[in-house]
Amino acid sequence: MIWWADQPKRAQLERNAVGDLAEREAWLLNVDWRFAGNLRLAVDYDLQIGERTIPLTLVYPDFFPDAAPSVLARNQELLSGHQYGPAGELCLEHRPDNWSPDKTGAMMIESAHRLLSSEGETGQPAPAEHRTTQAQRSRYSKLRFLFSRETLAGLSLVPEGQIASAEIQEQDAAGFYVAQLSHIGSADAPLWEEPRKRGGEVRTLRAIVVRIPQGSGRKCKDFDDLKALLWSHGFSALSTELTNASDWSGVILFDGLRLFVPMVFGESGSRTLVDYDAIFAEQDGVRLDPEYDRLKEAKVAIVGCGSVGSKVAVQLARSGVGTFVLVDGDVLASGNLV
């Protein structure tokens, strides 16, 4: 049953609450109710924050009011660090893990306004109430630059205040571009070379390692911002070289602790910048905390290996359990095991 048809009074309450909010608050503009895919109730609206107008959409789920609505950027723009990618929803104070049926869509709109206005005023990310994994943060990143401790050691060979030629290798992985530093210095006599290059078909791109003072690295919002950063640290000649070039050029900014990887491209004099998302990807990294090592010696019996039992077994195996006793009334064959 569609919730708004089954609960017309609640649907009207939602419309009234949003309407009252629009009459009360000047920052809520252009409210427009509509049906999204699968007859999901949705409302398009704009938030006026300073001189900026932000188009958003509130989408009610099929199981509302028992499940939280979603607030999405209507133009698929990354608005906040508290957002699951440009096409993803905002993570607000009212969300699936603390939702209750007495909360309304209007409260979600107010929460989105508090988040975006706070970040707009301070220029700083709003405090987070939860932790996200690296996988969640990079899920929507189209450009990914993988690095390891060995990469950082190689970059540390470039003295502070100096630059070094380098090469990046990049792969197209189903529309996601995955890159890594191939070598620093010339190919014939490199200062450092990646010992574990990714296999498969790759393309090589010219790059420049720029060693800047510790703590001065940051993400550049556009090419002019990159030029300003280079000028401020004495790399004016490199700034001019990048401006006059017409090829693709990777710039690896390393401040001794962090690295940022903008890619510059476009015609001479009208250059454009895109940023790789730098992802720490240690191939020999330890996934589990050492405290889980004792589970290797544990033996666990799973009684009932159906839908629930099999999922429990998988989670225990991922936690480090090495030996299982499986008890089930069905015939156990090799085709049942994964």
Q: DSSP for 55-122?
A: EEEEE--TTTTSS--EEEETT-----SSBSSTTSBB--SS-TTT--TT--HHHHHHHHHHHHHHHHHH
Residues 12 and 93 in one domain: yes
C-alpha 126/C-alpha 170 separation (Å) is 34
Range of the domain at 305: 290-336
Residues 156 and 275 in one domain: yes
Q: Output the pLDDT for position 338.
A: 64
Task: Report pLDDT for 96.
Answer: 82
Least confident interval from 54-68, 131-145, 314-328: 131-145
Contact call for residues 43 and 32 (beta carbons, < 8 A): yes
pLDDT of residue 131: 58
Same domain for 303 and 228: no
Same domain for 54 and 101, yes or no, is yes
Instruction: Specify the pLDDT at position 286.
Output: 66
Report the pLDDT value the prediction gives residue 125, as an integer from 0 to 100.
67
In a domain, 155, yes or no: yes
pLDDT, one tens digit per residue, over 23-49 is 999 999 999 999 998 899 999 999 999
Q: For residue 285, is it within any domain?
A: no
Q: Which pLDDT band, with edges at 50, 70 and 90, does 84 fall under?
A: confident
Give the confidence band of 337 by pLDDT, cuts at 50, 70, 90: low
Does a structural domain hold residue 91? Answer: yes
Looking at every residue in the chain, the average pLDDT score rounds to: 89
Instruction: Verify that 309 and 269 share a domain, yes or no.
Output: no
pLDDT level of residue 19 (50, 70, 90 thresholds) = very high
Has residue 194 got a pLDDT over 70?
Answer: yes
Give the tens place of pLDDT for each residue, 111-147.
Answer: 999 999 988 776 676 666 655 666 766 777 889 999 9
Question: Domain total for the chain?
Answer: 3
What percent of the chain is predicted at pLDDT more than 70?
A: 91
Question: Per-residue pLDDT tens for 235-244?
Answer: 999 999 999 9
**Within 13 A of 12's CA, how many CA atoms are on the CB side?**
4
In a domain, 48, yes or no: yes
Same domain, 180 and 264: yes
One domain, residues 189 and 244: yes
Q: Which of 102, 132, 162 is at the close of a domain?
A: 132
Q: Does 153 have pLDDT greater than 90?
A: yes
Shared-domain flag, residues 79 and 101: yes
Same domain, 168 and 298: no
Same domain? For 145 and 227 the reply is yes
Q: Are residues 264 and 145 in the same domain?
A: yes
pLDDT tens for 272-288 read 999 999 988 876 666 67
State whether 121 and 205 are in the same domain: no
Domain end residue (candidates: 261, 280, 299)? 280
CATH number of the structural domain spanning residue 30: 3.10.110.10
Mean pLDDT along residues 60-84: 89
- Least confidently predicted of 136-145, 164-173, 208-217: 136-145
- Report pLDDT for 236: 95
Q: Quick one: 50 exposed, middle or buried, by C-beta within 10 A (0-12, 13-18, 19+)?
A: exposed
**What is the pLDDT at residue 250?**
94
pLDDT of amino acid 66: 92
Q: Please check whether residue 93 lies inside any domain of the structure.
A: yes
Look at residue 53 and tell me if it is in a domain: yes
| Residue 230: CB atoms within 10 Å | 23
| pLDDT value at residue 173 | 84
Among 76, 99, 132, residue at a domain's last position: 132
